[in-house]
Amino acid sequence: MIDLQRDGDVFVLKLDGGENRFRPDNLAEISRALDEVEATVGTAGAPAALVTTGSGKFYSNGLDLDWMQGEESERRREYMSSVLGLFGRTLAFPTVTVAAMNGHAFGAGAQWALAHDYRVMREDRGYFCMPEIDMKSPLHPGMTAVIQARLPHQTAHEVIAFGKRYPAEEALQRKIVDEVAPEAEVVKRAVILAASLASKAHPVMTALKRGMYEDALSILEGDAAAKPPRTDPL
C-alpha cells in the first residue's frame, strides 16, 4: 500500500490503496518511510526532500470511518492520535515536503496535504474538501489548528464552515495549492520543486518550523491528541 522510491535527492512516497484512507497499518508504513527519509538527512544535514502522492482518483480520502465504527473507543483514540501525529510530523519535517495531489483530497487527506510545505494539484480532476458540515460532525481541535495554520483566514473559514469543494483552479486562487498541472505532470512538477530545495534539509529546519507552528503543534502533540471532543470527530 505504501511505496517509497528515490529520485536523486527526492524521496517519493506513494499511497496505493484505492481511496488511500488512513488505517493503522498504512500509518505505520508511512511512519517507517518518514524514518528512512529522516535518516538520510542525519544529524548534520544532507540533501533530501519528500514528495507524497496517491494513486488513481485519490490523493487521500482521509479517515477510514468504516474501520472506526467497528472499533472500541480506546482504539479510535489511538488511531486519531496516530493521524494527528502524522500531521504534526509532516508540519515540522526536516526537509521540504510537497504534496503531489493526483486526485481527490478529502477530510484528513486534505489536512495532510496542508501540513506539507507546498501542494501541486491535478488541474483536470479532483477536489479539495473538508465535508464535516455535510456529515454533521465536528472537527478535532488538532485538525482545525492545521487548517488555520496553513490557510488564509477567510479561506480557512470557507473550508471548515461551509465544506466547499475546490477544483484545482479555484484552490490555486484561494491559496490552498501552489501549482496546478496536468495529471501526467503532477508528480514531475512536485519533484522539481522539491529538488530545488533539497539542499536546505537539516534538523534545524524542524526547529524553525516548530517555531512557526508552535500553537498548532502543541494541540497536535498535547492533550488534544489523546482526548477527542465529546462527539467523535471525522
- pTM, entire model: 0.93
Residue 83 falls inside a structural domain: yes
Q: Give the three-state DSSP class for 2.
A: strand
Tell me the sheet residues that pair with 100.
Answer: 53, 120
> What per-residue confidence (pLDDT) applies to 1?
85
Mean pLDDT in order along the chain per 10 residues (234 residues): 95 95 95 97 95 96 88 87 97 98 98 98 96 95 97 98 98 98 97 98 98 97 51 46
Residue 121 falls inside a structural domain: yes
Are 15 and 5 contacting, i.e. CB atoms less than 8 angstroms apart?
Answer: no
Tell me the sheet residues that pair with 14.
Answer: 3, 53
pLDDT tens-place string over residues 109-121: 999 999 999 999 9
Residue 215 falls inside a structural domain: yes
How far apart CA 184 and CA 182 sit, in angstroms, is 6
Residue 232 falls inside a structural domain: no
Q: Where are the beta strands (DSSP E) in the chain?
A: 2-7, 10-15, 49-53, 58-60, 96-101, 104-106, 118-122, 128-129, 179-181
> What per-residue confidence (pLDDT) applies to 216?
97
Instruction: Provide the CATH number for the domain around residue 148.
Output: 3.90.226.10
Residue 231 falls inside a structural domain: no
> What per-residue confidence (pLDDT) applies to 127?
98
Number of structural domains in the chain: 1
Q: Give the three-state DSSP class for 67.
A: helix
Residue 24 falls inside a structural domain: yes
Residue 14 falls inside a structural domain: yes
> What per-residue confidence (pLDDT) applies to 222?
82
Tell me the sheet residues that pair with 52.
Answer: 13, 99
Residue 220 falls inside a structural domain: yes
> What per-residue confidence (pLDDT) applies to 73?
83
How far are the Cα atoms of 101, 146, 164 from residue 171, in angstroms, in the given order? Answer: 12, 17, 10
Structural domain span for residue 90 = 2-226
